[in-house]
């Protein structure tokens, strides 16, 4: 089985955006969301399912559109209502296509509000809707970074306690940028990935939570390319080696859109810490004229990488099942 651990419902019917537009205009609860099963089927069959079939993957770990989370918009109530609706839609996709998708939750974060307020929605998604993880935004302000770092005990630890209790990992995933200096998917996303890793290596977060797991998407931002810099910075601060400090807890996905990037990722990062992902129909949708294939058809790069069949199997399947401990039971339950 080939599992893509990073997919968003970027092809949701337009009624979802109309709901959001009404929220942005000041109506916190413009519901109920009027989207039919046929609309969902059409959006998936012509979108992500078609891509899975064309590219040879079997299953996508699926969450609401990341740029659309927009945690900075409105109040905590706005975020709560928006998040519930987005997560419910993911559950409907999974119910219609239980072999091809499994759910991951958006969280109702809000700048200035401690993430503990997301615990009830995480519990609802995991316990009632069979989701296996969540997307956690390290910067709900959308590019201002004015809440405490992800390693702040008072701010973040109560939420991590719940993640550990439920045995779900989080993908560290920012949303849209509202700072014009940072392009959303070209700069803000990569900044978010890199920033989270640097925070992790300077803290004792994984000493405090030995089973807490994070996936850093987009190939880990700048981290693999600058692995020597990060190892050196950690060493200067008398931090333990990465094998002890982060590699039992932090994983990188393969949303890197060219062969040399994947070759570097797989050479630098231990194979046990790499999870297959494409984020298809996402930030980069075009065809690379140098290869004739879609930039985000990342399976091709893994196929072509200088790795053993056993290592490729870990990246495509084994590691995903390990990092999402609820996967096996949740997948069996929905099928
Ligand atoms: Zn994403």
Sign of the CA dihedral 65, 68, 70, 74? Answer: negative
The alpha carbon of 284 and the centre of ligand 1 are apart by a number of angstroms equal to 11
The alpha carbon of 252 and the centre of ligand 1 are apart by a number of angstroms equal to 12
The alpha carbon of 239 and the centre of ligand 1 are apart by a number of angstroms equal to 30
317 catalytically annotated? no
pLDDT digits (tens, 9 = 90+) for 254-278: 999 999 999 999 999 999 999 999 9
pLDDT digits (tens, 9 = 90+) for 131-169: 999 999 999 999 999 999 999 999 999 999 999 999 999
pLDDT digits (tens, 9 = 90+) for 84-116: 999 999 999 999 999 999 999 999 999 999 999
Domains in the chain (CATH in brackets) are 3-334 (3.20.20.140)
- The mean of the pLDDT values for the chain is 98
Share of the chain above pLDDT 70, in %: 100
The alpha carbon of 235 and the centre of ligand 1 are apart by a number of angstroms equal to 31
pLDDT of residue 60: 98
Predicted TM-score (pTM) of the model is: 0.97
Indicate whether 251 pLDDT > 90.
Answer: yes
Q: What does residue 189 show for φ and ψ, rounded to 5 degrees?
A: -60, -50
The alpha carbon of 238 and the centre of ligand 1 are apart by a number of angstroms equal to 33
Mean pLDDT calculated for residue range 204-213: 98
pLDDT band at 69 (very low <50, low <70, confident <90, very high): very high
Active-site residue (options: 279, 290, 310, 317): 279
193 HSE (CA, 13 A, CB side) = 25
pLDDT of residue 102: 98
The alpha carbon of 10 and the centre of ligand 1 are apart by a number of angstroms equal to 10
The alpha carbon of 289 and the centre of ligand 1 are apart by a number of angstroms equal to 24
pLDDT of residue 31: 83
Q: Hey, which residues does 63 pair with through a beta bridge?
A: 8
Closest CA to 70 of 52, 83, 51, 58: 83
The alpha carbon of 7 and the centre of ligand 1 are apart by a number of angstroms equal to 6
Q: What does residue 132 show for φ and ψ, rounded to 5 degrees?
A: -115, 0
Which residues have a Cβ under 8 Å from the Cβ of 214 and sit 6 or more positions away?
136, 169, 170, 171, 172, 196, 200, 249, 250, 251
> Measured in whole angstroms, how far is the alpha carbon of residue 268 from the centre of its chain?
21
């Amino acid at each position: 089985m080939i599992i893509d651990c990073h997919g968003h419902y970027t092809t949701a019917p337009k009624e979802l955006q109309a709901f959001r537009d009404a929220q942005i205009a000041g109506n916190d609860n413009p519901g109920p969301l009027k989207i039919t099963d046929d609309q969902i089927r059409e959006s998936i069959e012509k979108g992500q399912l078609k891509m899975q079939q064309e590219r040879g993957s079997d299953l996508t770990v699926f969450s609401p559109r990341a740029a659309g989370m927009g945690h900075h918009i409105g109040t905590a109530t706005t975020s709560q209502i928006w998040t519930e609706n987005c997560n419910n839609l993911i559950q409907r996709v999974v119910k219609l296509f239980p072999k091809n998708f499994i759910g991951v939750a958006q969280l109702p974060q809000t700048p200035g509000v401690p993430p503990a307020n997301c615990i009830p929605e995480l519990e609802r998604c995991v316990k009632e809707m069979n989701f296996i993880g969540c997307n956690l935004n390290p910067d709900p302000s959308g590019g201002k970074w004015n809440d405490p770092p992800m390693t702040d005990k008072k701010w973040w630890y109560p939420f991590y306690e719940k993640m550990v209790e439920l045995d779900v990992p989080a993908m560290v995933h920012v949303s849209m940028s509202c700072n014009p200096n940072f392009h959303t998917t070209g700069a803000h996303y990569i900044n978010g990935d890199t920033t989270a890793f640097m925070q992790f290596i300077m803290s004792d977060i994984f000493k405090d939570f030995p089973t807490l797991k994070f996936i850093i998407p987009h190939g880990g931002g700048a981290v693999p390319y600058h692995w020597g810099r990060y190892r050196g910075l950690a060493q200067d601060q008398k931090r333990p080696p990465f094998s002890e400090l982060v590699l039992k807890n932090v994983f990188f996905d393969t949303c890197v859109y060219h062969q040399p990037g994947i070759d570097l990722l797989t050479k630098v990062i231990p194979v046990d810490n790499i999870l297959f992902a494409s984020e298809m129909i996402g930030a980069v949708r075009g065809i690379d004229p140098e290869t004739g294939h879609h930039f985000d058809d990342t399976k091709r790069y893994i196929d072509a990488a200088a790795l053993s069949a056993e290592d490729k199997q870990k990246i495509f399947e084994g590691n995903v099942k390990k990092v999402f401990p609820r996967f096996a039971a949740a997948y069996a339950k929905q099928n």
